[in-house]
Structure 1
């Protein structure tokens, strides 16, 4: 393992009902990287005609969900009344704050043919002063995100700031979130601009400071020095990190920093106080444990 890597996290494979996700955060060895408390690599999954994703309405508090696709399309609906398809390269940012409910499904128009889904879904923990903010949803088309190429490396700044550029995606704390596609033999330097940074290997072929990084690994970097990332074949990685927001815990779909806040959220979901997605009657019940 590279001397630049503090922790190397292997994924835990989750069955999300008809397709699989590789879950990197939270893990047994680490809960957060910067404000990122949840990191799922979705698919790639191929659905036959008539099938697709059907994540029924469920609640969140004290976090923001960020959906970013490489392939496919998802339909977002939430309790604020927003209905939005997301396509590759765009960003769906949903701030839960004091509480929101949403569903994610394959759009009806896509179900009549074979469909692919592949992408990254993350949760960003909100700092204490914004944890109970009013919920909101925003969609950012792919064309609105900073995108540039240098020496065979294509950068897309999903959120935050990096390389003297800023994403238009509204955030609540300092964050870096990059999608990086690399041509074989290319390289780039990741500066030490944030207290906590990580590299996720979407593909094979990546190296950090000359040491191979296996596919589907989250390398949490040490603080204090820039690292060199290169590849020996066409490759793709995600950079995620930022400044810490304090201790947070995850239980089911809730993020909290105090046990009493979790208990309140549980009761609110039981009592139907967190809202309802217009036009949908299904929902995911509160787990028993």
Structure 2
């Protein structure tokens, strides 16, 4: 049974019964019901933020996994880019140099993409920066690879056209590895006999008398004669602007006009002419100018051997 409520009436100085209107009664019930519903809804929202559904947890794991693989792919892209940079450097400084082709300008290799925003459709997502940056790297790398691929196609074409030139370039040591020591390199030095400061235009290889000397490239014997300065000396014309000189020989086994191939025996180390000890004086000329022979041993030397030979040529003394 519902409780009966009273209030004190000051006019009559007596307690009077409180009568509740039916509309107020139902309104009170409605508000109570709505309060319960609202409390339940707020509680559900809070609970759902703490306790995620299996589908939500699976999606969250998938997003984390995708982000991890994007970052991993980015690292691999950086590694690929570094390898491509090395290939581009070798292409410009070695391959194209060998064939006397102009190097590809850096701005052409590294050129970006102009015009409209190519990546607008990737904006507006939680990881837009990550996806956009990676896509840009892929596009730039792809463009650089296209440029490098075309360059290699050009190198192949040059190689086919200049097969004879490759065989003619003086690309090996004139004395076998292990048969010599470097006595002097391409530099200024005091002549051991004339006692004057003079530029040494070649390299001196000290070796016992009779050590074999070989042609460093295909060509034709231009001269094989005796000289007061060089003693027994051989000049080979390799065409394409290249010539080589082999001096102070003890014996020559070729004659003027004879054709030779790279690696053919042409004479033996000696001590003829202006020389203080048994050795081979070797020069390389390009377009009638003496050039450093050490740059033409790529057919014989590893990187370590090249470095050791270069160091020895800078530190040693001349024998002629």
TM-score, scaled relative to structure 1? 0.22
TM-score, scaled relative to structure 2? 0.20
Larger fraction in helix: 2
Q: Which structure has the larger Rg?
A: 2
Higher RCO, 1 vs 2 (CA within 8 Å, ≥6 residues apart): 1
Larger fraction in strand: 1
